[in-house]
């Protein structure tokens, strides 16, 4: 129960918050949080074997482009193209990762960086993807979900409750995020997950007891890339526009920072990191939208404009936080409660010893 408590708190938060913060800006922020959570947790799954991938953003983009292009050019249903996008990301992850499966540590990081850049460059070079300009007019997830409003009885009830297409999209993203996290958690706590941890500790010892290093490393890549492609494909139909600039190395570094700042040693770490840092990134946008509401004071409007001027410095602020966490809180933000508890127990034990003396 103690281990499940943080997840229960997060589940309650994500169920209640979208019902309280109902503006489109807030719902967009929640959807971006869901995308970041799945992407960073998939990255952590790959890192269980001891290798760190810098290509996760590229696989999110690959799933998005495969689903978006198929839905637009072949006029396939997005409910068909979204799973295809996820499977395509997994397949490309396996094919491109096979030559590098025996690499470890910094060498794998360098190879994955090359992989990520190559995938995005390949997407940018194709005419069907719109090249460097990207594509627009991807079939809309909101329009597809709006068909629910045409259903007798259900549509009227949703309209009376004030539910919009954006609300339904946010609910779908929440559902996909929960299912993805459940699968990733089960994978990590299975026999395969423990084998991957053995590989990260000592590949030589694991090999000596018959563990196939290439197979298990590729299995973690397949799992992490599948859910990256899935959430990317879903978001492509929500935004209806695609640009290769959205999936560059900068995005990959953000996913890495979510995992490191939240805490890579625990499953909930990337979730906490993505939740906090993604909202930090969205603060200028949220403040700007709030300043346009009626009855807002001039001071708040001035503050929102001031905050917007410095939004470009958010990556530098986050990098500073990352450095602080790496040096003083190596376990990430999720380790703070345990450190506080240890400090309290240490003070209590010291007080008892002094009183006995």
Lowest mean pLDDT among 60-64, 131-135, 283-287, 340-344: 283-287
Top-ranked range on mean pLDDT: pick from 58-67, 108-117, 241-250, 298-307: 58-67
Under a CB-based contact definition with an 8 Å cutoff, are residues 100 and 112 in contact? yes
User: In this predicted structure, what is the pLDDT of residue 320?
Assistant: 78
- 333 or 41: which leads in pLDDT: 41
Structure tokens at 176: 């996909």
pTM (2 decimals)? 0.87
- Spatial CB neighbours of 5, under 8 Å, sequence gap ≥ 6: none
Report residue 255's pLDDT band, with 50, 70 and 90 as the boundaries. Answer: very high
User: In this predicted structure, what is the pLDDT of residue 29?
Assistant: 85
User: In this predicted structure, what is the pLDDT of residue 310?
Assistant: 61
Task: Show the 3-state SS of the chain.
Answer: CCCCHHHHHHHHHHHHHHHHCCCHHHHHHHHHHHHHHHHHHHHHHHHCCCCCCCCHHHHHHHHHHHHHHHHHHCCCCHHHHHHHHHHHHHHHHHHHHHHHCCCCCHHHHHHHHHHHHHHHHHHHCCCCCCHHHCEECCCCHHHHHHHHHHCCCHHHHHHHCCCCHHHHHHHHHHHHHHHHHHHHHHHHCCHHHHHHHHHHHCHHHHHHCCCCHHHHHHHHHHHHHHHHHHHHHHHHHHHCEECHHHHCHHHHHHHHHHHHHHCCCCCHHHHHHHHHHHHHHHHHHHHHHHHCCCCCCHHHHHHHHHHHHCHHHHHHHHHHHHHHHHHHCCCCHHHHHHHHHHHHHHHHHHHHHHHHC
Report residue 308's pLDDT band, with 50, 70 and 90 as the boundaries. Answer: low
Domain assignment of residue 281, given as a range: 5-356
User: Could you give the number of structural domains in the chain?
Assistant: 1
User: What does the pLDDT look like over 183-223, one tens digit per residue?
Assistant: 999 999 999 989 998 888 888 888 888 888 889 999 999 99
User: In this predicted structure, what is the pLDDT of residue 294?
Assistant: 58
Report residue 311's pLDDT band, with 50, 70 and 90 as the boundaries. Answer: low
User: What does the pLDDT look like over 12-37, one tens digit per residue?
Assistant: 777 777 666 667 778 888 899 999 99
User: In this predicted structure, what is the pLDDT of residue 321?
Assistant: 76
User: In this predicted structure, what is the pLDDT of residue 324?
Assistant: 81
- Spatial CB neighbours of 209, under 8 Å, sequence gap ≥ 6: none
pLDDT (average), residues 162-170: 80
Nearest to 47 by CA among 284, 298, 260: 260
Query: Among all chains, which residue has been given the structure tokens 């999936």?
Result: 247
CATH number for the domain spanning 206: value is: 1.10.3470
């Amino acid at each position: 129960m103690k281990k499940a408590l943080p997840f229960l708190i997060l589940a309650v938060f994500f169920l209640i918050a979208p019902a309280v913060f109902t503006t489109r800006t807030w719902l967009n922020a929640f959807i971006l949080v869901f995308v970041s959570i799945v992407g960073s947790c998939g990255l952590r799954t790959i890192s269980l074997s001891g290798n760190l991938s810098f290509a996760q953003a590229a696989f999110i983009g690959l799933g998005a482009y495969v689903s978006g292009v198929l839905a637009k050019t072949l006029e396939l249903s997005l409910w068909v193209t979204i799973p295809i996008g996820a499977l395509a990301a997994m397949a490309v992850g396996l094919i491109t990762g096979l030559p590098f499966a025996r690499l470890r540590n910094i060498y794998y990081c360098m190879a994955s960086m090359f992989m990520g850049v190559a995938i995005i460059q390949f997407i940018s070079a194709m005419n069907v993807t719109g090249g460097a300009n990207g594509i627009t007019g991807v079939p809309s997830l909101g329009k597809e979900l709006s068909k629910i409003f045409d259903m007798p009885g259900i549509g009227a009830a949703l309209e009376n409750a004030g539910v919009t297409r954006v609300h339904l999209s946010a609910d779908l993203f929440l559902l996909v995020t929960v299912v993805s996290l459940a699968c990733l958690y089960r994978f990590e706590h299975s026999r395969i997950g423990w084998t991957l941890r053995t590989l990260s500790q000592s590949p030589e010892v694991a090999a000596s007891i018959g563990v196939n290093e290439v197979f298990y490393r590729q299995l973690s890549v397949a799992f992490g890339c599948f859910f990256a492609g899935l959430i990317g494909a879903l978001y492509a139909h929500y935004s209806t526009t695609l640009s290769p600039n959205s999936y560059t190395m900068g995005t990959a570094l953000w996913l890495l920072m979510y995992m490191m700042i939240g805490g890579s040693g625990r499953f909930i770490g990337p979730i906490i990191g993505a939740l906090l840092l993604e909202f930090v990134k969205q603060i200028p946008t949220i403040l700007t939208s709030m300043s346009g509401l009626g009855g807002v004071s001039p001071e708040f409007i001035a503050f929102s404009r001031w905050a917007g001027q410095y939004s470009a410095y958010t990556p530098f602020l986050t990098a500073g936080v990352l450095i602080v966490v790496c040096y003083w809180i190596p376990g990430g933000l999720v380790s703070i409660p345990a450190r506080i508890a240890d400090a309290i127990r240490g003070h209590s034990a010291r007080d008892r010893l002094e009183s006995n003396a």
